[in-house]
Structure 1
Amino acid sequence: MNIVYASNDNYARHLGVSMCSLFESSKKEKNITVYILSVNLGQESRDKLNQIGEAYGRNIHYIEAGDLNSRFSHQVDTGRFDISTLGRLFIGKLLPENVKRLIYLDCDTVVVRSLAYVWKQNLEDCIIGAVPEPTIYKQVKEELGLSAEDTYYNAGVLLIDLQAWRQENAESKLLQLYAEKNGKLFANDQDLINGGLKGRIKTLMPACNFFTNYRYFHYWDLVRQSPAYRQIPKEEFMKAKAHPVVIHYMGDERPWKAGNWNHYRLAYEKFLRQTPWKGYPKEEGARAYMAAYHIMDYLTFLCPPIRQVISKIYLKKAMKKYG
């Protein structure tokens, strides 16, 4: 089983937590190899990550992605996201030729059940497998040429047929689209994957990549926001809430921020204690915002339209910069 992350020093701690959870939850898996696409990942961070790998007897390989800006023929504006996430656009060239299939994980994920469930999914004739994100703004979909009926996918967890990726020259297609968009998209490479690989993405069940804020959404509201979400049975959505395979801390309620009340924060804290970053203090300065965010979560459950109003306000501000 090949697992790929992309990280720099700023996300090394979260990468360590995710990797520790991966190894702990997959003890029965004989072969797990981790590839880290490094964007100037320092030696101190590497030493700590290596300690985790050695504790579980797992192999970790570092692949230096270098200056990602230099890999583009145009300027890129990643906005609120770190440029290290763009490293996955170059997996076909960066990873060894003998790697034919892989699971890509964002650093802000925690694996609580064996990834064998994800690994065994049949991609059929698709290049990648991903979990739908029905709450994406319709303006983002329109920018990518996606209709209201089209599925938009989250790229935090990807099952990739790397052989097909290479054969069909997916990298070039995505880079061409990025150039056409002048290197500026709302969700960067996630948008590129949705726009450039439309029709070649296999839908995975939400347990494979469960977004923590979806705990507070009703299934019917997600279907209302994106009719394509009907392809996810309600039973699968409810099962993912209770028994996810991968927890994805998507949104602002991050477990490493002081004052957060994230329902799934205990999973992150549990694995943090098993890493060399044990005891690392939480980030201060946003306690009031964390409380307000959690109140919004409960209001989402009680009255879904309230979140829609708040989201529209956020989108209006964001589009001034990314639109």
Structure 2
Amino acid sequence: MNYKTNDSINVLFASDDNFAPYLGVAIYSFLKNNHQDFRKINIHILAKRISKENKTILEEIASPFGENNLIFIEDEGISKILGKKIQANRALSSFSRLFAASFLDETIEKVLYLDADSLILGSFKELWETNIENYYVAGVLDVGPDYVKTAVGLSKDVNYINAGVLLINLKKWRNEDVESKFIDFLEKNNMQVYNNDQGIINATLNDSILIVDPKFNLMSPFLEKDYDDVIKWNGLKNYYDKETIENAIKNPVFLHFVHFINGRPWFKDTKHPCKDLYLKYASETQYKNDVVVEDYRGLKYKLFFSLTNFLPYKLVCLIYRPYRDFFIKYF
């Protein structure tokens, strides 16, 4: 595997038809800020019933950015591969990314997986050229509290990455039959794993994960709250220092819009700090009239985050966190 002379990149997204507009914005922002660094960009999409119309739009979004390919991996192909490996109704949506080594051509030795609830503002060249020959995967530490680790049998003190950005060493996955480890873990847990593929990756590969700079997966909590608040009230241990996070905020490559106080930047009445920036990128795509929607979060989230409108965040966390942890862990 040659990490120094890459002039092409393989990227992997996953989406269904409903999320196609946000996938379109993510692809557009990726190409706009990365096309100059790669001779060829191959974007592979795990496509869950994406319509012909949306596929055409996605191809139109990609077409102005030089030599690149959009490769749709269809439902039928995914189901066929997964059907031979695991039997679960949830497999397609929850676990399909675990089997990227089977979906993608065996000549592809590594792939950059990106979540579509995102905006890409910088180049992934540095990460793409990172040597992961001795690692299964590279990623950014998650912002979740301790129970996300203990829920999958890990110690509170180990590293746990967020699966929104993963640089995957497909060659090592194939050579060491990592998929069998995933299947064994799924079967031992009756196909119910907290955080789905993220939990599985951390639980099974934890001894060989490379932790990378948070600029490659900067999550909403650090965009909406101060560093000290996020660290203290999420109970984060052995995390990035304040200077590293502040640098990531100043120079982000990947903004990851995980649910937090203000939800997604495309919610109609959101106060998300990246709302204007997101809508600016969206306005440059064919989906400019399709991205804004009502806040669709459940009552649990709305209750918690509505309290932050008139109570200090620290106080809300102090009151709510024990209940949140209990309900998320046991329900």
Q: TM-score range by the shorter chain?
A: 0.7 to 0.9
| Other structure's SS at 1:227 match | coil
CA–CA distance in 2 between the matches of 1:297 and 1:242? 26
CA drift of 1:308 comes to: 5.1
* Residue of structure 2 in register with 1:112 after alignment: 121
Which residue does the alignment assign to 1:263?
Answer: 273
Q: Residue 3 of structure 2 aligns with which residue?
A: none
Of 173-182 and 58-67, more deviation after overlay is shown by 58-67
Query: Take 2:310 and 2:109, find their aligned partners in 1: how far apart are those partners?
Result: 43
- Is residue 251 from structure 1 mapped to residue 259 from structure 2 by the alignment? yes
Cα 1:206–1:295, aligned 2, differ >3 Å: closer, same or farther? farther
Q: Which runs of 5+ in 2 are unaligned?
A: 1-8
Mapped partners of 1:279, 1:228: distance in 2: 42
> What is the SS of the residue equivalent to 1:55?
helix
**2:170 equivalent to 1:162:** yes
Match of 1:153 in 2: 161
Aligned residue number for residue 75 of structure 1: 88
> For the residues of structure 1 that align with 2:291 and 2:153, how far apart are their CA atoms?
43
Over the matched positions of the two proteins, sequence identity in percent amounts to: 27
Task: Write out aligned runs for 1:43-62 (5 A).
Answer: 43-57=52-66, 58-62=68-72
SS at match of 2:58: helix
1:144, distance to aligned residue in structure 2 (A): 1.7
Match of 1:284 in 2: 294
Runs of 4+ in 1 over 6 A off after TM superposition: 287-292
Tell me how large the CA RMSD over aligned residues is.
2.7
Scaled by the length of structure 1, the TM-score of the pair is 0.87
TM-score, L = length of structure 2: 0.85
Residue of structure 2 aligned with 1:313, choices 319, 323, 328: 323
Query: How has the CA–CA distance of structure 1 residues 72 and 296 changed in structure 2, closer, same or farther, with 3 Å as cutoff?
Result: farther
Cα pair distance change 1:298/1:227, threshold 3 Å: farther
Moved more, 20-29 or 56-65: 56-65
Once residues 184 and 194 of structure 2 are traced to their aligned partners in structure 1, the CA distance between those partners, rounded to angstroms, is 17
Note if contact 2:152-2:193 (Cα within 8 Å) is conserved in structure 1: no
Q: 2 CA distance for matches of 1:222 and 1:249?
A: 15
Q: Is the 8 A contact 1:15 1:107 kept in 2?
A: yes
Structure 1 residues 77 and 87, CA gap change in structure 2 (3 angstroms): closer
C-alpha distance 203-123 of structure 1, shift in aligned 2 (>3 A): same
Offset at residue 98 of structure 1 (A): 1.4
1:131–1:204 CA contact under 8 A, matched in 2: yes
Cα deviation, residue 40, structure 1: 2.0
Deviation per CA, 1:152-199, whole angstroms, max 9, x where unpaired?
A: 110000011111111111111112101111111221000000101111
Secondary structure at the aligned position of 1:32 is classed as strand
1:293 equivalent in structure 2? 305
2:201 aligned with 1:201: no
Match of 2:95 in 1: 86
Query: Structure 1 residue 305: deviation in Å?
Result: 5.6
Note the 1:214-225 alignment, pairs <5 A: 214-220=222-228, 225=235
Against the structure 1 CA distance between its residues 308 and 18, is the aligned structure 2 distance closer, same or farther, given a 3 Å change threshold? farther
- CA apart distance, 1:121: 2.2
Name the aligned partner's letter for residue 159 of structure 1: L
Unaligned regions of 5+ residues in structure 1, if any?
none
Count of residues in Structure 1 that have an aligned counterpart in Structure 2: 312
Q: Is the 8 A contact 1:76 1:183 kept in 2?
A: no
